[in-house]
Structure 1
Amino acid sequence: MPAPTEPFDSEKDLSDAPRTGGRQRPKDAATLILTRAGRFGREVLMGRRAKGHVFMAAKWVFPGGRVERSDAGVASASELQPPEAARLAREVSPRRARALALAAVRETFEETGLLLAEPAPPASVAGPWREFRAAGALPDLAALSYVARAITPPGRTRRFDARFFMADAAALLHPEPTAGSGELDEIAWIPLAEAEALDLPAITRFVIGEVRARLETPDRPLPFVRMVRGKHVVEHQD
């Protein structure tokens, strides 16, 4: 299997989120990596987490967050492409796969104001999707590619089973981010060549390497990062 551009930095990962004890099951989460052609090459959308956060404070990350109970049943303009749905089907049920994809789109909207969506008549719905639907949009799941999975090591203050999706900014209804919910205190399009100079969590640095490689080789095997018997392991699947 091909190796990522950057090896996974186990020591950095442990320093990003030191072990605090306790046992908790990882919660489903999803992240969206938006890319676009920039003046100096390919760019990715990133945000810096506010300093007051318990988890990954002041780090630059991709927008994303925890799956909500209502995510799976939300209407969408399109569904996942068959290859992406098949990859997720090896891990989760179709309903759970859909929830993960929708969570990536919703969280990106909440944190950046960006809509990965198709225009639709505004609708009044309850819950986390209220503002998205009121904006006159339906999520565009066909624009997503499933590119990586990572589980936070045991004993951390937060644990997530995170799926990373990627999409081209051409699928956005509007090209520039807003302040969003305020969870990210700075949001910017960053050239890939400069992104690794930012203060990044280890998993974000790893995924940036995967994004760079995937832009050159779209059918690249999907990496799965987790801790097994106290050591980080990176597995790949076709």
Structure 2
Amino acid sequence: MTDRAPYGQTTTDKTAIRNAATVIAVRGRMGDDPQVLMGQRGAKAAFMPNKFVFPGGAVDLADQQVPLASPLPDLCRQRLCDHAPTDVQHALAVAAVRELWEETGLILGEPGTWPGEVPPDWHSFAATGHLPSARAMQFVFRALTPPGRPRRFDARFFLVDADQINGDLDDFSRASDELSHLQWIPLSAVRSFDLPFITEVVLAEVTARIRDAEPPGSVPFFQNHDEASLFLRLKGYPMPADG
């Protein structure tokens, strides 16, 4: 998770709750022992040092302006609007694609030519001949970092089947150095790694419905405030006609 200007906040406000997107890439989803893509955060990282995490990070201001070859599925967009602003879904989807690219070098996109000027953070992605795409993303979890942490994020987790990712799934040569030890970890072994508490919660939710191709009836929202920690269920609602 980087310190570029997040969507709706500035990097100078370290106490702000930042919108964030996380990608749970699943390989061999219908097999005997599916795998998830994870990497280890650095020992000096301000947020979750040394922990094994999914690729993800804060939404940038520029993400709202980045084009998508295909938008999020309607149901995901509806549920992202539940207990949230209605203008954040696009930026969250773009951030998920960008973070997956930056931290792993893997492409979640569709072949195409960028309309107009390519934003600086997307030059290397655009050079692959792809536009970012949210078509294969499924919104499956939301979690708010508890008070008192050095960074707080309102993180949305998106499940993606690995067969929707372009390129060699084992080639991490284009990844940044933000995550080390990138690897596909079998679900049967993942809890032997040093995981954040919320990652364990998300893994339990994903594991329970790993072979269910249909979206869940609702999306869990682990909401942490000063007063209490609550588990809500996000069911969404129909989008406006012009949404």
Aligned sequence identity (%) = 41
2:240 aligns with: none
Other structure's SS at 1:35 match: strand
The answer to which of 86-95 and 195-204 deviates more is 86-95
Unaligned runs of 5+ in 2: 1-12, 236-243
Q: C-alpha separation between the residues in 2 aligned to 1:86 and 1:58?
A: 35
The answer as to 2:191 corresponding to 1:191 is: no
Does 1:36 pair with 2:8? no
Measure how far apart 1:142 and its partner are: 1.0
Partner amino acid, structure 1, of 2:207: R
Superposition CA RMSD, Å: 2.1
- TM-score (norm. length: structure 2): 0.82
1:104 alignment counterpart: 96
Change (3 A) 1:163 1:82: same
Normalising by structure 1, what TM-score? Answer: 0.84
Structure with more contact order per residue of length (Cα contacts < 8 Å, sep ≥ 6) = 1
**Number of paired residues?**
217
1:219 paired residue number: 216
Q: Which runs of 5+ in 1 are unaligned?
A: 1-21
For 1:103-182, list aligned pairs within 5 A: 103-121=95-113, 125-174=118-167, 175-179=169-173, 180-182=175-177
Q: CA deviation at 1:107?
A: 0.4
Deviation at 1:176, TM superposition (A): 2.4
Classify 1:164/1:115 alpha carbon distance in 2 versus 1 (closer, same or farther; 3 Å): same
Name which of structure 1's ranges 40-49 and 55-64 shifts more when overlaid on structure 2.
40-49
CA distance in 1, matches of 2:14, 2:95: 25
Q: Which has the higher helix share?
A: 1
Q: 1:25 aligns with which of 16, 26, 33?
A: 16
Identify if the C-alpha distance between structure 1 residues 163 and 134 changes in structure 2 by more than 3 Å, giving closer, same or farther.
Answer: same
> Structure 2 vs 1, CA of residues 23 and 58 (structure 1 numbering), >3 Å: closer, same or farther?
closer
Misfit runs of 4+, over 4 Å? none
* Structure-2 separation of matches of 1:154 and 1:76: 34
CA–CA distance in 2 between the matches of 1:56 and 1:25?
Answer: 17
**Equivalence map 1:4-23=2 (5 Å):** none
